[in-house]
Amino acid sequence: MPSAVVTFGEIMLRLQPPGALRFVQTDRFEAVYGGGEANVAASLAQFGQEARFVTRLPHNPLGEACLGALRRVGVDTRFVARGGDRLGIYFCEKGHSQRPSVVVYDRAGSAIATAGPGDFDWEAAFERADWFHFTGITPALSEALPDIVAEACRTARRKGLAVSCDLNYRKKLWSRETASRVMTGLMEFVDLLVANEEDAADVFGIQAPGSRIEAGHLDLDGYAVVARTLSERFGIPRVAMTLRESLSASDNGWSALLLSGGTIHASRRYAIRIVDRVGSGDSFGAGLIHALRQGQPDPEALEFAVAASCLKHTIEGDMNLVTEAEVDALVRGGGSGRVQR
Amino acid sequence: MPSAVVTFGEIMLRLQPPGALRFVQTDRFEAVYGGGEANVAASLAQFGQEARFVTRLPHNPLGEACLGALRRVGVDTRFVARGGDRLGIYFCEKGHSQRPSVVVYDRAGSAIATAGPGDFDWEAAFERADWFHFTGITPALSEALPDIVAEACRTARRKGLAVSCDLNYRKKLWSRETASRVMTGLMEFVDLLVANEEDAADVFGIQAPGSRIEAGHLDLDGYAVVARTLSERFGIPRVAMTLRESLSASDNGWSALLLSGGTIHASRRYAIRIVDRVGSGDSFGAGLIHALRQGQPDPEALEFAVAASCLKHTIEGDMNLVTEAEVDALVRGGGSGRVQR
Amino acid sequence: MPSAVVTFGEIMLRLQPPGALRFVQTDRFEAVYGGGEANVAASLAQFGQEARFVTRLPHNPLGEACLGALRRVGVDTRFVARGGDRLGIYFCEKGHSQRPSVVVYDRAGSAIATAGPGDFDWEAAFERADWFHFTGITPALSEALPDIVAEACRTARRKGLAVSCDLNYRKKLWSRETASRVMTGLMEFVDLLVANEEDAADVFGIQAPGSRIEAGHLDLDGYAVVARTLSERFGIPRVAMTLRESLSASDNGWSALLLSGGTIHASRRYAIRIVDRVGSGDSFGAGLIHALRQGQPDPEALEFAVAASCLKHTIEGDMNLVTEAEVDALVRGGGSGRVQR
Amino acid sequence: MPSAVVTFGEIMLRLQPPGALRFVQTDRFEAVYGGGEANVAASLAQFGQEARFVTRLPHNPLGEACLGALRRVGVDTRFVARGGDRLGIYFCEKGHSQRPSVVVYDRAGSAIATAGPGDFDWEAAFERADWFHFTGITPALSEALPDIVAEACRTARRKGLAVSCDLNYRKKLWSRETASRVMTGLMEFVDLLVANEEDAADVFGIQAPGSRIEAGHLDLDGYAVVARTLSERFGIPRVAMTLRESLSASDNGWSALLLSGGTIHASRRYAIRIVDRVGSGDSFGAGLIHALRQGQPDPEALEFAVAASCLKHTIEGDMNLVTEAEVDALVRGGGSGRVQR
Amino acid sequence: MPSAVVTFGEIMLRLQPPGALRFVQTDRFEAVYGGGEANVAASLAQFGQEARFVTRLPHNPLGEACLGALRRVGVDTRFVARGGDRLGIYFCEKGHSQRPSVVVYDRAGSAIATAGPGDFDWEAAFERADWFHFTGITPALSEALPDIVAEACRTARRKGLAVSCDLNYRKKLWSRETASRVMTGLMEFVDLLVANEEDAADVFGIQAPGSRIEAGHLDLDGYAVVARTLSERFGIPRVAMTLRESLSASDNGWSALLLSGGTIHASRRYAIRIVDRVGSGDSFGAGLIHALRQGQPDPEALEFAVAASCLKHTIEGDMNLVTEAEVDALVRGGGSGRVQR
Amino acid sequence: MPSAVVTFGEIMLRLQPPGALRFVQTDRFEAVYGGGEANVAASLAQFGQEARFVTRLPHNPLGEACLGALRRVGVDTRFVARGGDRLGIYFCEKGHSQRPSVVVYDRAGSAIATAGPGDFDWEAAFERADWFHFTGITPALSEALPDIVAEACRTARRKGLAVSCDLNYRKKLWSRETASRVMTGLMEFVDLLVANEEDAADVFGIQAPGSRIEAGHLDLDGYAVVARTLSERFGIPRVAMTLRESLSASDNGWSALLLSGGTIHASRRYAIRIVDRVGSGDSFGAGLIHALRQGQPDPEALEFAVAASCLKHTIEGDMNLVTEAEVDALVRGGGSGRVQR
């Protein structure tokens, strides 16, 4: 019987003007549900895995709608706690060309931010599971959540689950000091850390020497230094970094590296026309978790994760609704986009 | 130079699934902005009046969009305070036939609920104005707001403005006890009170003898007793009551009465197929304020207000986007709906 | 080989806010193409008849789109003249309940209004045809059009076609005096006249004694007098009148009468919930023309026409997209709306 | 641990022009998934029950989308067989007023119609279940399905499940003769039979004396005779009949009766403005199953079922997305449609 | 009097999620009608030619809607046979960047696939025509169709029509062996063959030496060899090949070559941002047929065809809705996309 | 107290098929309101300036809707004259890749084209203003408008306002001869002239030596010559030219130069993926006016204007709905499109 992956975090309602409209122009919003850890669970479910998502949702129709959205994509929602007053919301205006996307968060007071330790039963949630994933967003959401995440990590370790973390710093949620203190405490449990350069700098003050993301140039050596520093400082076996070249809001370069066993693996690079980049980091994490759980060697796992997250950029919404076969096809082929009949 | 009407309260983003869809079915929301006092200002602006709306809106694109929506319908927004963290939201699922509309409020922590007395300059807002309108919702939004409303009322009285109030009890915002205490204190300023039977019962414990709203039957005499009680208890010159016969979510009867100078005036009754009933009470208030300011006699003013609010039921969104000429045409004609070429 | 019906008039682009939105609320318009005589041709084409529509359309993409719309519903457009500067437009805001529909015409300077007699080849258009239909709108569109219509009528008579006319008075296009003069001149060609009470009063000053349309009451005897007066004054063999009871913009009563051979036939009455009433008069005319051409006796023809136009009220757009079988089913059945599987 | 309900049948993709558009007018279709037994499962899931739906779906993205739609509404899809070439489709054009809805079926060759007995594991599907439901549509879909349904019924009986059947005759799928033979064979397993008058007449030749459905009049005594005849002929303990008064495609009367223990119970009657009547019979069956499984007495169970299916008429799509609390509120209240804040 | 082009094949309903949505995300489909030979006819009609399309469509509202869609774009549908059970459908999910488009065919059992030889009257269809076009899809649709196509070709030859064929191999419809046998038999009638490299390899086993389409590189010499082989093996005077460089689902290079009189003509190359590439091969064929029928020399005809099909990539739907003037402008200009006012 | 900018011209309803649809495909239009001078006012309002727009609008619901659209974006509409018969319309079909955008004007007889000198009160409109802006479109709209514009310019000069003009030649509105004569007369008032190469050539016959816009190559020296010629011929202190490289309808290069005090300043160049290029010239003018009024040095003002108009290409509709902060961020940063959280 296959074992499961468990992720824990917030899922929000995302409201977005249609097409290229700005907030001030629209009288309609497109609605999807998403959040870092929910996106990872959803992506794993598309890959055919049993994926459980743990969160807390209010007892109202929006909470129900959110649950339905998770079930629709195959996520196991049996361990979702219910209660609290509201679902977090974020408003997202898609950028185009030189105009950046704009995100307005409206997540204060959400059900998970008002959760207490008694809301979650980690023993049950981790039953028959082999992997636990969280991000740096979750402990930032309330004063209670660092302890809740730590408890989850301890339980996971005790029950033999691997633990992965996406560093994901959100400056509107907490200060760098608090982030550094809390995340440092959690790093001891982490077997796989995913980060980008900004996260490492923001949370742990680890700078890549000489890189200039803005300009769309990548200094791979610099990123390798960051990965090694993270790995060594916290004793984390695997550290992955996504490398985004922000050419414009419409076009990005996308690749990644993986430090594993002291070796840096660098992936292929994709030149992407963006449909929706929200959740691409999450889809990378999901791809990596999936490939590693399938026993793929590190370089292949990295290519799978980069290809998966490349495809995420072409999918609307937060969740990477692509199958393992589709990712494999991109890994093997060239992304030529020929029609699949 | 004409004088202005000033209203004060919260305006929210209303998010609504298209057509008859339920929350759990939709991946789109229609977005409008509305709130009791904003709706009154908007309706007055359609009637050609100078209408100022005072509120507090956050410094973010949603606050800007809300301002734009107010300006679009001709409301003067110069006295809107800026600040706070978020715009209040309410989710609305339209009912049909036997299925009632469902409203989910998500307004806690909104910009106006976190406002302080220093945010509003009533002297400036009331300059060249002759009427001030608020509802029972506004003082319910925070602990600070009762005093702010009272200050506004005192300033209005000092500067010679008439004051109107729509009782509008919201049980999710405050208890009946608090509502009763606060609203009793504010009644001394009120020249025109608008209420429906439930409000009077909820806030002041004044019951109409024998009326059965649910059943769609009206006991006009009972409502007259309520109006007289309100007028006498608080010394309010004019008390108006809207009378809704809830036959279904699609069909309502609609009429009103006005107590003025001790006389009860009862309006014509409209059998309405509902497009959107949100804001119909506000449109009644606006119609009454407008007609009284124009110097119409009480019975005619009442008919204008009922006709205006009848038309509101046929308008999408919170605001009654009909002109004075359109209301007059309904008052004069029969609502036969013949095409206006 | 079956013979054809020819209609002549203007077809316009109709722009309409979606759903119940008002002009001031919308940032989208739904677009259909329609006009009295085009609607008759379209309806006849749905009934399986060869229907030619003669008009003039500009050489631009909107003219092409309009042609495509006509062909889509099976209308023969080979005799459409091309030229002129613009396609006429009308903006239509759908009414609901007590709120009437609003139509804003923007048709001045349209291709047909700037047409000359040389633009149309009636000999060719009437080849193998047995019926010609026009309305009172067409001669009102320009100073040249009365003569063009008269020429068409003369040619039709000479070639043995029956001629029908829908009186259709549009007060924004011409005065009653001009209308009376021009239409009087055209009545000599008419074998079948369709009118409603207002048209007869507006154009020819023929009043129904005592009828009160607004109030939704019908005085059948009064309408019979109008029909007889029209028939006798102009020597028209058949005069049909549609009888609309405007209960509201959402609900109408609908029936008709037909004076033929001195006998008044009164139809069944339908209580209709309106989807779109534009073009219902045209669909009545089309139904009557069709049934008479098929050789149905007058009472059956009248019932066919009323049923056809009843159904038009349930169809979006100007054109009555229902088949003969669907009309027959309503004539035979009871309009119970049971699902057709 | 609660036990489950299992339903078995076809689920199709339903494609529908938006609003009141006809097939020939539309360039868009709204897509939902539905089918008699899937609708029952979905409704039960909304009532908080564990509901399993058994069917067969193709291995293609439409099959996946259909699975997702089922999961979204909380249906357990673990026992769905995969295989076959296509998903059945039906095109549905909504009727309005006198214009009936039109359904075009395109279901030949669907995955379930090409299923064999080995595709379904009834032992597993019925584990921990107490109720099995099917309709008269399923055995009509192929020559193999009568035996498969019979096998399911036998297994259900052996494992102690109650069995319910909705008679649901589809004349395009099989002849009356075949239907009669097959359904007669299946009746022996049935504990609860749901039918309407037409089904009983079409399948078993049981006519209600004197009823005239078309005309919108109900002869309750006639229906009681039909129910008694069904109960007696096949020895079925409970027979329920839905009573639809088809006033028009927009307005229906709706009620039901239940024969149980020899007693006829007649429900309240609802006058309904229809949003979407597809699936209303299914929602009645689901309501009845739910209320009976909850142990409600027959009259209360009948009222619950009628109220549930009344609400279905106000819900878009095939599935009755209402909660038990919402149905209870309608049973207790009067369907006045007052806003739920 | 101008002569006509006749095409013969299947037209299907294409259902497509809006924008970049995947099948599993959508609750709406955009609907267009298209198919290889219908697209050619539609394109020729836009160029002002008389274009007849022969197919078989069911007697249901979808068949009518399809006919309307053909007439709308000016295609002569008088020779469309009616009958059969269903309209073929294909579901199409648009690709973006590295994500390929996905097509799910649901065409089995369509009206044309169940047609017999008696359904088509080639003598009538070819009256006053000078060109017949078909594709390799049509004979693949049923066992009867190869003979029907052969009969059409024989009749065409006898009546002096030129015959063109687009090779268009569909591996889901038939094996390479059957395709090779059938298409070889039909080649004898063909005056102009259109193919791409894959078709030639799949159907006739003719490989271009060394070309690598996936990689986006073109080996023009290799394609010339394929064209010459096709021309020589079957004695076809003109062979055209479209050359697609699949850079991604969003960006393609596009050019073509034409072998005529032993000479290879190579076209200009366009770098295209794709709106919708479905039907681009058909639009190339239509462009070539049109230019050759207009008497353009081969090189100019090739440029016209490539420019026409370049524009098709920017048009939504299967059909190339561009005029001759628009194609000419692109041939003459540089595709700079300057606004045409 | 800050002073205001006043602009004068026509504002039209723009109707556009959604997405990439062509006119002949659509049954919906997206509606925005725009026009050269209105766009400048709207953009200035987004920058926080008081911006007044003077025009003439009809007394009908479309005129009201247009007013609302202007107010929504913060434009002061108090000086809009009311009257006339219609609102001008333009139909716009968006181009993609090699397919150019198509604009169909339908503006004849609009309210402003039938305005007389008495319709505008320049004394009042210019009260407390320091800048007046018009374009070469306005005087082309009627025979009366050249004098009205001249009067506005004279009043502006007398009251000490700076005057700017965007040359904007529209060949469908007037001949080059008339344009040259009228615009020459107006140049004497102009302090800042904005033009592109085509305008200068069309109106004043000033050719850039050797430039080839079509080909996407820019000859900066040539444009400098044009700017100098314009400045010297008419004694205009500042002349700005926008430089568009039309690579395709989807991709443009965009930059500008400014001649000021005899010095040519050349801006950065942006490679833009176009969302909507309508109004980009206007947004450049607005950016320049704003930056100059803010006292920015010429090179910085030019960069601000180019960045502002770069962003306009990413905004739907005519108006540049970006804030000063957003423009500044692009000037400072690199247009990398990173998400703004």
Cα gap B21→F140, rounded to integer Å: 50
SS3 E175: coil
pLDDT of residue C216: 47
Q: Would you call C22 and B315 a contact, using CB atoms and an 8 Å cutoff?
A: yes
For residue D86, the distance in angstroms to the closest alpha carbon of chain E comes to 7
**pLDDT (tens digit per residue) in A154-185:** 999 999 999 999 999 999 999 999 999 999 99
* Chain C to chain E Cβ contacts (< 8 Å): 14
Sole residue written with tokens 């690199």:
F334
For residue C85, the distance in angstroms to the closest alpha carbon of chain E comes to 14
Chain E residue with Cα closest to A270: E98
| Percent of chain E whose predicted confidence (pLDDT) is above 70 | 97
B→A interface, C-beta within 8 Å: 15, 22-24, 26-32, 60-62, 64-65, 68, 85-87, 89, 91, 93, 102, 104, 106, 108-109
pLDDT of residue B217: 55
pLDDT of residue C153: 98
SS3 C82: strand
- The residue that leads in pLDDT, D250 or A341, is D250
pLDDT of residue E215: 47
pLDDT of residue C49: 97
pLDDT of residue F2: 77
DSSP for C210-225 reads T--TTTT---HHHHHH
Chain D residue with Cα closest to F26: D27
Q: Are E105 and E131 in contact (CB under 8 A)?
A: no
Q: Would you call B68 and F68 a contact, using CB atoms and an 8 Å cutoff?
A: no
pLDDT for E60 beyond 70 = yes
pLDDT of residue B210: 65
Against chain B, the chains showing at least 3 CB pairs within 8 Å are A, C, D, E, F
User: Domain F4-331 is classified in which CATH homologous superfamily?
Assistant: Ribokinase (3.40.1190.20)
pLDDT for E65 beyond 80 = yes
pLDDT for E190 beyond 50 = yes
Cα gap A152→D171, rounded to integer Å: 58
Cα gap E141→F87, rounded to integer Å: 54
Q: Which residues of A31-60 are buried (b: 16+ CB within 10 A; e: fewer)?
A: bbbbbbbbbbbbbbbbbebbbbbbbbbbeb
pLDDT for F216 beyond 90 = no
Q: Comparing D330-334, F84-88, F145-149, which segment has the lowest mean pLDDT? A: D330-334
Q: Would you call B339 and C20 a contact, using CB atoms and an 8 Å cutoff?
A: no
Q: Are C153 and C163 in contact (CB under 8 A)?
A: yes
pLDDT for D215 beyond 80 = no
Please name the residues in contact with F143: beta carbons below 8 A apart, sequence gap of 6 or more: none
pLDDT of residue D210: 64
Active site residue ranges of D: 282
What is the pLDDT of chain F when averaged over all its residues?
95
**pLDDT (tens digit per residue) in E237-273:** 999 999 999 999 999 999 999 999 999 999 999 999 9
Q: Would you call A73 and D73 a contact, using CB atoms and an 8 Å cutoff?
A: no
pLDDT band at A218 (very low <50, low <70, confident <90, very high): low
pLDDT band at F72 (very low <50, low <70, confident <90, very high): very high
For residue C335, the distance in angstroms to the closest alpha carbon of chain D comes to 4
pLDDT of residue A205: 93
Please name the residues in contact with E284: beta carbons below 8 A apart, sequence gap of 6 or more: E194, E240, E242, E256, E305, E306, E308, E309, E312
- The residue that leads in pLDDT, F37 or D341, is F37
For residue E16, the distance in angstroms to the closest alpha carbon of chain B comes to 17
Count of residues for chain B?
341
Q: Would you call E103 and A339 a contact, using CB atoms and an 8 Å cutoff?
A: yes
pLDDT band at F215 (very low <50, low <70, confident <90, very high): very low
Among residues C282, C298, C318, C328, which one is catalytic? Answer: C282
Q: Would you call F61 and C104 a contact, using CB atoms and an 8 Å cutoff?
A: yes
Q: Would you call F214 and E322 a contact, using CB atoms and an 8 Å cutoff?
A: no
Count of residues for chain C?
341
Q: Would you call D68 and A72 a contact, using CB atoms and an 8 Å cutoff?
A: yes
Q: Which residues of D257-272 are buried (b: 16+ CB within 10 A; e: fewer)?
A: bbbbeeebbbbbebbb
For residue E234, the distance in angstroms to the closest alpha carbon of chain D comes to 37
- Domain made up of A4-332: CATH architecture: 3-Layer(aba) Sandwich (3.40)
For residue C24, the distance in angstroms to the closest alpha carbon of chain A comes to 13
pLDDT band at A66 (very low <50, low <70, confident <90, very high): very high
pLDDT for D41 beyond 90 = yes
pLDDT of residue B209: 77
**pLDDT (tens digit per residue) in C135-145:** 999 999 999 99
Q: What's the order of all strands across the beta sheet hosting C89-93? A: C102-106, C89-93, C12-16, C28-34, F28-34, F12-16, F89-93, F102-106
D→E interface, C-beta within 8 Å: 15, 22-24, 26-32, 60-62, 64-65, 68, 85-86, 89, 91, 93, 102, 104, 106, 108-109
Cα gap F129→D249, rounded to integer Å: 62
User: Which residues does chain F have within 8 Å of residue E272's beta carbon, measured at their own beta carbons?
Assistant: 97-98
SS3 A278: coil
User: Which residues does chain A have within 8 Å of residue B64's beta carbon, measured at their own beta carbons?
Assistant: 23-24
Q: Would you call C65 and F29 a contact, using CB atoms and an 8 Å cutoff?
A: no
pLDDT of residue C340: 76
Residues B217-231 have a mean pLDDT of 88
**pLDDT (tens digit per residue) in C226-270:** 999 999 999 999 999 999 999 999 999 999 999 999 999 999 999
pLDDT of residue D1: 59
| Annotation says C282 is catalytic | yes
pLDDT of residue C38: 98
**pLDDT (tens digit per residue) in B154-184:** 999 999 999 999 999 999 999 999 999 999 9
Q: Would you call C314 and D95 a contact, using CB atoms and an 8 Å cutoff?
A: yes
What is the pLDDT of chain E when averaged over all its residues?
95
Chain D residue with Cα closest to A75: D71
For residue A22, the distance in angstroms to the closest alpha carbon of chain B comes to 9
The angle, 0 to 180 degrees and rounded to 10, between the axes of the packed helices C197-204 and C220-234 is: 40
pLDDT of residue C215: 47
Cα gap B35→A246, rounded to integer Å: 41
Residues D102-127 have a mean pLDDT of 97
pLDDT for D299 beyond 70 = yes
The angle, 0 to 180 degrees and rounded to 10, between the axes of the packed helices F197-204 and F176-187 is: 100
Q: Would you call D68 and E104 a contact, using CB atoms and an 8 Å cutoff?
A: no
What is the pLDDT of chain D when averaged over all its residues?
95
Among residues E282, E298, E318, E328, which one is catalytic? Answer: E282
DSSP for D32-86 reads EEE-HHHHHHHHHHHTT-EEEEE-EE-SSHHHHHHHHHHHHTT-B-TT-EE-SS-
Cα gap C291→C308, rounded to integer Å: 10
**pLDDT (tens digit per residue) in E104-155:** 999 999 999 999 999 999 999 999 999 999 999 999 999 999 999 999 999 9
Chain C residue with Cα closest to B31: C25
Residues E38-56 have a mean pLDDT of 98
Chain E residue with Cα closest to B28: E27
Among residues A282, A298, A318, A328, which one is catalytic? Answer: A282
pLDDT band at A336 (very low <50, low <70, confident <90, very high): confident
User: Which residues does chain F have within 8 Å of residue B53's beta carbon, measured at their own beta carbons?
Assistant: none
Residues A225-232 have a mean pLDDT of 96
A→B interface, C-beta within 8 Å: 15, 22-24, 26-32, 60-62, 64-65, 68, 85-87, 89, 91, 93, 102, 104, 106, 108-109
Residues A58-68 have a mean pLDDT of 97
Among residues F76, F276, F282, F298, which one is catalytic? Answer: F282
Q: Would you call C109 and F108 a contact, using CB atoms and an 8 Å cutoff?
A: yes
What is the pLDDT of chain A when averaged over all its residues?
95
For residue E273, the distance in angstroms to the closest alpha carbon of chain F comes to 5
Q: Are F274 and F311 in contact (CB under 8 A)?
A: no
Phi-psi region of A133 (alpha: psi -120 to 50; beta: other; left: phi over 0): beta
Q: Would you call E71 and C74 a contact, using CB atoms and an 8 Å cutoff?
A: yes
SS3 C294: coil
* Chain D to chain E Cβ contacts (< 8 Å): 68
Tokens of C18: 């979606």
pLDDT for C36 beyond 80 = yes
E strands along A235-334, which residues?
238-246, 251-260, 263-266, 270-273
pLDDT band at C211 (very low <50, low <70, confident <90, very high): low
* Chain B to chain F Cβ contacts (< 8 Å): 14
pLDDT of residue E78: 97
Residues F49-71 have a mean pLDDT of 98
Q: Are A88 and A13 in contact (CB under 8 A)?
A: yes
pLDDT for A323 beyond 90 = yes
- Nearest-by-Cβ selection for F73 from B68, B73, B74: B68
pLDDT for E45 beyond 60 = yes
- The residue that leads in pLDDT, D315 or E197, is D315
Residues E224-245 have a mean pLDDT of 96
pLDDT band at E14 (very low <50, low <70, confident <90, very high): very high
Q: Of F214, F306, F232, F240, which Cα lies nearest the Cα of F268?
A: F306
pLDDT of residue B249: 96
Against chain E, the chains showing at least 3 CB pairs within 8 Å are A, B, C, D, F
Chain F residue with Cα closest to B76: F71
Chain E residue with Cα closest to D16: E28
- Nearest-by-Cβ selection for D74 from A71, A73, A74: A71
pLDDT band at C12 (very low <50, low <70, confident <90, very high): very high
pLDDT for C201 beyond 90 = yes
Q: Would you call F65 and C24 a contact, using CB atoms and an 8 Å cutoff?
A: yes
